Structures are given as structure tokens and as C-alpha cells.
Amino acid sequence: MTVSLEDIRAAQMRITGKVTRTALQPSDDLSQRCGVPVYMKMEHHQPTGAFKLRGATNAVAMLGEDERRRGVVAASTGNHGRALAYAAGLEGIDATICMSQLVPHNKRDAIAKLGAQICIVGNSQDDAQTQAELLVAQQGMTMVPPFDDAGVIAGQGTIGLELIEDLPQLDTLLVQLSGGGLASGVAAAVKSLRPQVRVIGVSMARGAAMQASLTAGHPVQVREDETLADSLGGGIGLANRHTFAMCRDLLDGVILLSEEEIAAGIVHAYHEEREIVEGAGAVGIAALLADKVVPRGPVALILSGRNIDMDLHRRVICGEQLQ
């Protein structure tokens, strides 16, 4: 693995006191449905509303003085940009976030409120990444990638350390799968500490870039479509250095969900768990509700983010037809 257990433990030390050690909360309803204990890792309770704060905080903490002085830049589907803007702001570092037109306005506005510069370009995460690379080349800014970066992966992996600390008898873990920063980091930690745990990636059927790449045996490009799980959109990068290989080697399977199934996860989170989560945050719940995984023992899933447009949330909860 390109990111080791020791790297993740070091990240845990760097970010302690800067991020929230989130609760692992039991779900009575899901436990009854599945016939085994089901627990939810409440990452949507982070100060920025998503798990991404862990990776961004660790990556910023690892920067040298010259890198800090030149400012940081990243491409983002929203949550990484918000996390990087927050982490950089705490350190007095300038941040620029590049996003495509597909990123919801509520996520763009939240990043701007944190003081970061916003650059909207193109219609895909790949377009945003190209712009971020251009700023690195032209202005000498320091890139902090949203997922394919050892420091970011190690930061996300601290979730895995907490999961095993809180639930040593864990049997199955459902983890969001997009660019692979979360999935690879958490899987690296969990598999190192408890190799028998099944770690299953969960994504949307629309434009699941990592799943398409795993099927092809190498990174591939996919068309990026609008989805309720917008935080899971975007490619993994044709020159992927870390997350593709780690997901290939560590994941025990991948589940893909329809838009209707994702919506059902959002609704369940609200009505049964009293939690507001975005589409990506609800995919673990959705996979269980759709009977796409057969639990054998204690299950954990991650509520990865809550940064959903509230009008969209209302429409999903009310069962309005969504395109």
C-alpha cells in the first residue's frame, strides 16, 4: 500500500483537536431490518459538514513554509473545497477552489463564505482539475488534491482507526466510493487492524468512475452526469497514483445505486434517524434498504456529509419527482 497504517496514525496525531472525533451511533431501525447490529459513523457532524476535513487538515499540516506562502489550490465537487478553505483559513493560508458548473450553488456559496477564491469552469471535475493545474503552473500555487494524495488519504483513514477502536467486532463496512480517497484510506486502516472485515464501496450508477476503472483494470474516463450523490461525481484521473491501486487491492466489492435508491436513503436518514444528509452521505443506508448487501455480523456505514441544498432535500423528503 502506498499509504500505511503508520501514515494514518501519524495523521491522527496531526489532526487531533482540529477535527471532530465523531460518534458511532447505533441505528435501531436498520439493525431490526438487517438482523444484525448496524452503526452509523457521524462524519456529517464535522464543522464543515463532511469527512473531507480530515484529509484537508492533514495535508495542510504537512505543508512546508514555502508551500504555505504560495497558497493552496484544489479541484472539488464541493466538500473538499469547503474543507480545504476551512483548514487553510485556520492557518492563514490563501486558498483557491476550482469547481465545475455541476457543483450545487449552496456548496459554492459555503466555500466563498470561508474566504477562499472561487473559480467555476467547465462541466466536469476533469475541467476543474485542468484549471487547478493551470494555476499551479502559472502562479506557483500548491496543489492539495481531493483524493489522490497520500496526506489526504491518510487523513481520511483516521475514520478507520476510530471505527475499530469503537467497534472491534466489526464485520462489514460500507464506504462511499468516488475518487477513492475515503475508501482507500479507511480500508487501509481497517484491513491493517482487522483483515477479516469486508469493506464494500458504494457509489451511484450514474458515472461511477472508480467502478468503471476497476472493471477495466486501469483508470478510465466516464461521462459525469447529474446525480443526487453529487459529491461522488468526477473522474479518478488517468494518471492516478494511489487510490486506484489501493481500492483494487483492498475493497471486497462495489455496490451501485439508482437515483431512486439514493433518494430512499435520504428519506430514511431524515424520518428514521432524524439526520439530514446529502445523497452521497446516504448511500450506505440506501445499500442496506435495497438489500444489495447481506450482512453477516455488525455493520458500520458512514454518513459522510450533510451539505445538501435544503430545497432539494425538501423535495426528496416530500417524494417529488426528480429528474
Domains 5-50+149-317 and 53-143 share a fold: yes
Q: Give helix 5-15 / helix 52-61 axis angle, nearest 10°.
A: 90
Residue of 41, 52, 107, 191 marked catalytic? 52
Is the pLDDT score of 30 beyond 70? Answer: yes
Contacts of 231 (CB under 8 A, 6+ apart): 50, 77, 78, 79, 176, 178, 278, 279, 280, 281, 304, 305, 307
**Is residue 280 very low, low, confident or very high in pLDDT (cuts 50, 70, 90)?**
very high
**Is residue 279 very low, low, confident or very high in pLDDT (cuts 50, 70, 90)?**
very high
pLDDT at 323: 58
Average pLDDT over residues 64-84: 94
Q: Is 52 a residue of the active site?
A: yes
Contacts of 310 (CB under 8 A, 6+ apart): 106
Give percent of the chain with pLDDT exceeding 90: 89
Q: How many CB atoms lie within 10 A of CB 7?
A: 21
For 41, the 3-state DSSP assignment is strand
Residue of 100, 184, 231, 304 marked catalytic? 304
The Cα–Cα gap between 144 and 98 comes to: 11
82-132 pLDDT tens trace:
999 999 999 999 999 999 988 888 899 999 999 999 999 998 888 998 999
Contacts of 238 (CB under 8 A, 6+ apart): 219, 220, 221
For 222, the 3-state DSSP assignment is coil
Is the pLDDT score of 248 beyond 80? Answer: yes
Strand order in the sheet with 172-176: 24-26, 38-41, 299-302, 172-176, 198-204, 253-257
Parse the chain into domains and list their residue ranges: 5-50+149-317, 53-143
pLDDT at 125: 81
Contacts of 74 (CB under 8 A, 6+ apart): 80, 81, 84, 95, 96, 97, 98, 132, 143, 144, 145, 146
Residue 93 C-beta-side C-alpha neighbours within 13 Å: 30
CATH architecture designation of domain 53-143: 3-Layer(aba) Sandwich (3.40)
Mean pLDDT of the chain: 95
Q: What is the CATH number of domain 5-50+149-317?
A: 3.40.50.1100
Is the pLDDT score of 1 beyond 90? Answer: no
Higher pLDDT, 195 or 78: 195
**Is residue 225 very low, low, confident or very high in pLDDT (cuts 50, 70, 90)?**
confident
**Is residue 182 very low, low, confident or very high in pLDDT (cuts 50, 70, 90)?**
very high
Q: Give helix 79-90 / helix 52-61 axis angle, nearest 10°.
A: 40
Say if residue 221 is exposed, middle or buried (CB neighbours under 10 Å; 0-12, 13-18, 19+).
middle
**Is residue 234 very low, low, confident or very high in pLDDT (cuts 50, 70, 90)?**
confident
pLDDT at 124: 85
CA 41, 185, 280, 16 dihedral sign is positive
Average pLDDT over residues 263-285: 98
Is the pLDDT score of 58 beyond 90? Answer: yes
The Cα–Cα gap between 137 and 131 comes to: 10
Beta bridge partners, 16, equal: 19
Average pLDDT over residues 66-77: 94
**C-beta of residue 159 within 8 angstroms of C-beta of residue 300:** no
76-87 pLDDT tens trace:
988 999 999 999
Average pLDDT over residues 235-256: 96
